[in-house]
A and B are shown apart, each in its own frame.
Chain A
Amino acid sequence: MNVTASSLFQLDVLILAWVALGGAGLILRRSTVAITHLLFPLSALLSLLMAWVAFQSLTNTPEVLVLPLGLPDLPLHQRLDSLSAFFMLLLGVASVGVTLFSSGYFRSMAANVLSLLMLEYHLFLAGMALVLLADDAYMFMVAWEVMALSSYFLVTTEHEKPDIRKAGFLYLLIAHVGAIAILLSFGVMQGGHGIGAYTFDAMRAAELTPYWASVAFLLALFGFGAKAGVLPMHMWLPEAHPAAPSPVSALMSGVMLKTAIYGILRVSFDLLHTQQWWWGVVALTLGLLTAVFGVMFAAVQADMKRLLAYSSIENIGILLVGIGLALIFHVYGKDALAALALTATLYHSLNHACFKSLLFIGTGSILHATGERNMGRMGGLIHHMPWVSVLLLIGALAIAGIPPFNGFVSEWLLLQAFLLSPGLPNSYINMLVPVAAAGIALAAALAAYVMVKFYGVIFLGQPREKILHHAHDAGWPERAGMVWLAGLCIVLGVAPVFVVSQIDHVTQLLVSTSLGNAASDWMFLAPIDTDRASYSPLYFLLAVLGVMGLTVLLVRRLYHGRVRRGAAWDCGFPAQTARMQDTAEGFGQPIRRIFEPFFKMQTHLPTPFDTHPKYEAHTEDRLWYLLYLPVQQLTEKLSGWVSVLQHGRIHLYLTYTFATLVVLLLFV
């Protein structure tokens, strides 16, 4: 086959073009206009092309390519199968919106900072793309590190602030702890066959005992989990996301977390063959804890980007639940159900990439307009930012899992997978399943709470600060980016049958079964059997609109009164001010109270005689004190002991070297 005609080659060219755009940004470091008006739109075009090529290659047989790069005798291997293609598609469609948005968002940035950001941004994109295409551990780790480092620099764009430096450091630390675990996992999987055996093909062929396969799985789960923000390695997410510029947060949350999901899927379904049933239980439990934990913390946040970061933790938890369920089904030979759970997981990945990117770039627009991240100082923005408010409403409804938007479809599929699950041979798992379904339902309902809070406190009500009256709507490129993503949220919501038919190629690869569609009608999504369940978002949408239209029509005909504008009624209370509305903390108060044992809270109540009363409540994560600080103290203590060796005298150091040499010689 002609190499240049292959999709893999085309993708490589596009990735190279990305890097070249980044380099061009460095060259054009004097002109903000050139970067934002020319390079970013070009980059968005590249993303679109990439999404198109990836979409085309979903159906292709796997393509491989050996790049004549890298160390001698250690060429880089690449492979494009439907799993990589699916995640490339995800990367492409999400980055189209985010990059378009960036082209408007960064217009006020100083040119020298922007040019560096341009390079890092595109290295980040290229890194993620190469992670998805890698077919050997060496290339995978290099791309993984490019992704981690470039995103670290992006997070610390405003490095003059100490908080941001701290957040960046935490992120880098956890990312590298995770990377070590991934590397070790690859080491275990290649089974000790020498340096040539680090290709994924060799790992697929390696015969691992169940024991070592489990070790590899757990290491991979830990390593990728650290990147994805799975409990208890989630700590970096709520720190790094608010610190980064909004488009970067959007990419990190929408796409980068998905590369970790990709990694878990790749390792547990493709590279390893001898899955154990308890892997699924571990993933399911961990995912459930992560989901409930994430959404609980999201409900009590006041910073809008922290709230979204915690919501990402929740969604990662849901994805992990899907993977766990798929593993359990796969081990017990129920591959049709495994395909259903995997379809739900992949669908949700794509959905989350769309709505979370949308919400994050939306917060960027709000940040630009108000200069404020604390939701408690906003309010009433729906009057000043009509575009952003409508588009973010779509995003918020989608993430809350409301029909007919896309979040609902993936949750529907996941719940169906739970409902179809009875009949597993292990009775403990049989009972875990309904409990887990309840947990998912609880997390989904809390997500609605979180989104009402997010949208209501920011956009609705009266403006809580004077400055908000001067808030301006987003510019055209920003709008275009947001419209793209919001449009995807709707399209993915109303055309699930088409999306599922595309995902079928991926599940075919992973569990050799595809979901298909049991319904004869293309309007109906019906996994397994039409009698069991079916959902038709299009009919649903039409019915809602039809009923609503009928109502509007009837009311117009029957109603003869006028509509006047007047002061708000509020039970006749005249001295109404904007400060009487719930702040973000106020809205989250019930959750704080109900789930009190999970939070570490400090509240400050004013005395009754205080003339300027101020109520304060800080909510912190207990895990920081229970897990992270002890580890840090231990590390400090250990390094204190090691520092005993340090004296600064060169003779002593030479003695150490000499002693080591003698000891080593003795052993040899």
Chain B
Amino acid sequence: MMSAPEITLAIVFQITQLLLVVLAAPLLMGWVNQCQAWLQNRSGAGVLQPYRVLHKLFHKDAVMAHNASWLFGITPYIVFGCMWLAAAIIPIIAVDLPFSQAADVIALVGVFALARIFIALAAMDIGTSFGTLGARREMLVSFLAEPALLMVLFTASMISHSTQLPRIVEALAHHQFVIYPSLAFAGLAFIIVLLAENARIPVDNPSTHLELTMIHEAMILEYSARHLALIEWASSLKLFAYLSIGIALFMPHGIAEVGNWDGLPLALLWLLLKLMLAGAALAILESVMAKMRIFRAPEFLGAAFLLAVLGLLIHFLLGV
């Protein structure tokens, strides 16, 4: 068991991360958008644009459809809460977060599922054609993406003999440098899942309102003002969470030990660098790909699922 000061420190770490993610998530979104703008030879709106958007939305009057039910009203809060929680339990600056004990990787996938189901239900609540279309497509994408993500996490769990994120990161980061071929497969599958789950380009296009392409935007069409702000914020938290998972699994080096105050600034610096890199990579990836037809998406995600399974198999076969 940990001693009392250790626990206090761990809780401080946890609260630090909780605040850090919620404040930094829009910045990450802004960074990705800005990188994209540079790649497309535009000047871009600046990395602070998401904050301005949120500020604007929080100061508007909200409109809800006449037949919106309570489900529609509470969904933004549930989605925001889930995403915040998810982003807060992934060890990115320090290994031992006290709350990570309560929810392991399977529960993490469960948190994402909880948010997704509520947002899909809320999309169906008003009963517009776009809403149900979005909900259907979202579930279509997720029923392949979710098991793929689970398999990716399982590969890491198999390597580290634990489903707890801190243990996984510890095993991957603090031991002697070992190359895991299975993680190569898992990494590729994870990139596909990341693109699909965050409404990114080959699967969804976050910047259009075109019937042929919309998935995520179709679901949140009816939201306005503070509700929309919460959902947008939740989307950026989700992106943050996914990139954090990617960092935790595939480049965990430089993370701080628990109770290591001195390591914290360095760990933060590392994190900033890694997030900037990951965001830029995401922007490049999106810029070089074309949006695919919606019925190619299951094939794309099916490939991710099978790759993740293959990664798990490789782990069994090669023993590493």
User: Do A's and B's CB atoms come within 8 Å in the complex?
Assistant: yes
Shortest CB distance B305–A (Å)? 7
Partner of B154, one of A430, A431, A437, A571: A437
Shortest CB distance B74–A (Å)? 9
**Interface residue? A408 (CB, 8 A):** yes
Partner of B63, one of A434, A564, A570: A564
Contact, CB under 8 Å: A402 / B135: no
Complex interface: stretch among B38-46, B77-85, B260-268 = B77-85
A547 and B146 contact, Cβ closer than 8 Å, known pairs A403-B107, A536-B102, A540-B107: no
Partner of B127, one of A401, A434, A461, A559: A461
Partner of A581, one of B1, B69, B114, B129: B129
Contact, CB under 8 Å: A456 / B62: no
Selected A-B contacts with CB under 8 Å, 22 pairs:
A379-B127, A397-B114, A403-B114, A408-B107, A412-B107, A416-B106, A434-B151, A434-B313, A437-B312, A524-B102, A532-B167, A534-B101, A535-B104, A547-B85, A563-B225, A564-B63, A565-B65, A568-B128, A573-B129, A582-B132, A582-B136, A587-B135
Alpha-carbon separation in the docked complex, A532 to B117 (Å): 28
**Interface residue? B222 (CB, 8 A):** yes
- For chain A, which range describes its interface: under 10, 10 to 19, 20 to 34, or 35 or more residues? 35 or more
Shortest CB distance B291–A (Å)? 18
A400 and B113 contact, Cβ closer than 8 Å, known pairs A531-B164, A559-B226, A586-B132: yes
**Which residues of the other chain, B, contact A433 by a CB distance below 8 angstroms?**
316
Shortest CB distance B154–A (Å)? 6
Alpha-carbon separation in the docked complex, A566 to B125 (Å): 15
**Interface residue? A551 (CB, 8 A):** yes
**Interface residue? A110 (CB, 8 A):** no
Q: Which of A103-132 contact B (CB under 8 A)?
A: none
Contact, CB under 8 Å: A445 / B147: yes
Partner of B162, one of A532, A547, A559: A532
Shortest CB distance B58–A (Å)? 6
**Which residues of the other chain, A, contact B120 by a CB distance below 8 angstroms?**
452, 456
Alpha-carbon separation in the docked complex, A535 to B102 (Å): 5
**Interface residue? B7 (CB, 8 A):** no
Residue of A nearest to B18 (CB): A547
Contact, CB under 8 Å: B110 / A408: yes
**Interface residue? B191 (CB, 8 A):** no
A563 and B136 contact, Cβ closer than 8 Å, known pairs A456-B121, A460-B69, A547-B85: no
A-B pairs, top 10 by smallest CB distance, nearest first, are A461-B127, A441-B147, A462-B127, A548-B81, A539-B102, A456-B124, A582-B132, A536-B102, A580-B129, A568-B65
Q: Which of A564-594 contact B (CB under 8 A)?
A: 564-571, 573, 576, 578, 580-582, 586-587, 589-591, 593-594
**Which residues of the other chain, A, contact B230 by a CB distance below 8 angstroms?**
551, 555
A448 and B61 contact, Cβ closer than 8 Å, known pairs A535-B103, A555-B230: no
Q: Which of A514-549 contact B (CB under 8 A)?
A: 520, 524, 530-536, 539-540, 543-544, 547-548
A449 and B143 contact, Cβ closer than 8 Å, known pairs A533-B162, A535-B104, A536-B102: yes
Chain A CB within 10 Å, residue with most, of B66, B81, B84: B81
Contact, CB under 8 Å: A460 / B71: yes
A567 and B66 contact, Cβ closer than 8 Å, known pairs A431-B313, A431-B317, A562-B61: yes
**Which residues of the other chain, A, contact B102 by a CB distance below 8 angstroms?**
524, 534-536, 539-540, 543
Residue of A nearest to B129 (CB): A580
**Which residues of the other chain, A, contact B308 by a CB distance below 8 angstroms?**
438
**Interface residue? A560 (CB, 8 A):** yes
Partner of A566, one of B65, B81, B107, B136: B65
Contact, CB under 8 Å: A438 / B126: no
**Which residues of the other chain, B, contact A403 by a CB distance below 8 angstroms?**
103, 107, 110-111, 114
Shortest CB distance A446–B (Å)? 5
Contact, CB under 8 Å: B127 / A578: yes
A548 and B62 contact, Cβ closer than 8 Å, known pairs A442-B147, A555-B226, A571-B209: no
Alpha-carbon separation in the docked complex, A564 to B66 (Å): 9
Partner of A565, one of B66, B298, B317: B66
Query: Footprint of B on A, CB under 8 Å?
Result: 379-380, 382-383, 393, 397, 400-403, 408, 411-412, 415-416, 419, 422, 430-431, 433-435, 437-438, 441-442, 444-446, 448-449, 451-453, 455-457, 460-462, 520, 524, 530-536, 539-540, 543-544, 547-548, 551-552, 555, 558-571, 573, 576, 578, 580-582, 586-587, 589-591, 593-594
Contact, CB under 8 Å: A576 / B129: yes
Shortest CB distance A548–B (Å)? 4
Shortest CB distance B76–A (Å)? 9
Alpha-carbon separation in the docked complex, A208 to B140 (Å): 50
Contact, CB under 8 Å: B78 / A548: yes
Partner of A445, one of B130, B137, B144, B161: B144
Residue of A nearest to B155 (CB): A434
**Interface residue? B59 (CB, 8 A):** yes
Query: Footprint of A on B, CB under 8 Å?
Result: 1, 58-69, 71, 77-78, 80-82, 84-85, 99, 101-104, 106-107, 110-111, 113-114, 116-117, 120-121, 124-133, 135-137, 139-140, 142-144, 146-147, 150-151, 154, 157-158, 161-164, 167, 209, 221-222, 224-226, 230, 295, 298, 305, 308-309, 312-313, 316-317
Question: Helix, strand, loop or mixed for chain B's interface?
Answer: helix
Partner of A559, one of B58, B78, B142, B209: B58
Shortest CB distance A552–B (Å)? 6
**Which residues of the other chain, A, contact B124 by a CB distance below 8 angstroms?**
452, 456-457, 460-461, 581-582
Residue of B nearest to A566 (CB): B63
**Which residues of the other chain, A, contact B114 by a CB distance below 8 angstroms?**
397, 402-403
Shortest CB distance A242–B (Å)? 24
Residue of A nearest to B125 (CB): A460
Residue of B nearest to A533 (CB): B163
A532 and B164 contact, Cβ closer than 8 Å, known pairs A448-B113, A539-B99: yes
Alpha-carbon separation in the docked complex, A580 to B129 (Å): 5
A547 and B84 contact, Cβ closer than 8 Å, known pairs A445-B146, A535-B103, A571-B221: yes
**Which residues of the other chain, B, contact A408 by a CB distance below 8 angstroms?**
107, 110
Partner of B61, one of A382, A416, A561, A570: A561
- 13 further A-B pairs in the complex, CB-CB below 8 A; given A524-B101, A544-B81, A582-B135: A412-B107, A434-B151, A442-B144, A539-B102, A539-B103, A544-B85, A547-B81, A548-B77, A566-B64, A568-B66, A568-B67, A582-B124, A590-B136
Contact, CB under 8 Å: B127 / A540: no
Alpha-carbon separation in the docked complex, A573 to B126 (Å): 14
Shortest CB distance B98–A (Å)? 9
A435 and B157 contact, Cβ closer than 8 Å, known pairs A401-B110, A449-B143, A566-B65: no
**Which residues of the other chain, B, contact A580 by a CB distance below 8 angstroms?**
128-129
**Which residues of the other chain, A, contact B113 by a CB distance below 8 angstroms?**
400-402, 445, 448
Residue of A nearest to B83 (CB): A547
**Which residues of the other chain, A, contact B313 by a CB distance below 8 angstroms?**
431, 434-435
Contact, CB under 8 Å: A581 / B312: no
Shortest CB distance A408–B (Å)? 6
Contact, CB under 8 Å: B147 / A430: no
**Which residues of the other chain, A, contact B144 by a CB distance below 8 angstroms?**
442, 445
**Which residues of the other chain, B, contact A379 by a CB distance below 8 angstroms?**
127
Contact, CB under 8 Å: A534 / B104: yes
Alpha-carbon separation in the docked complex, A403 to B99 (Å): 15
**Which residues of the other chain, B, contact A563 by a CB distance below 8 angstroms?**
61-64, 225
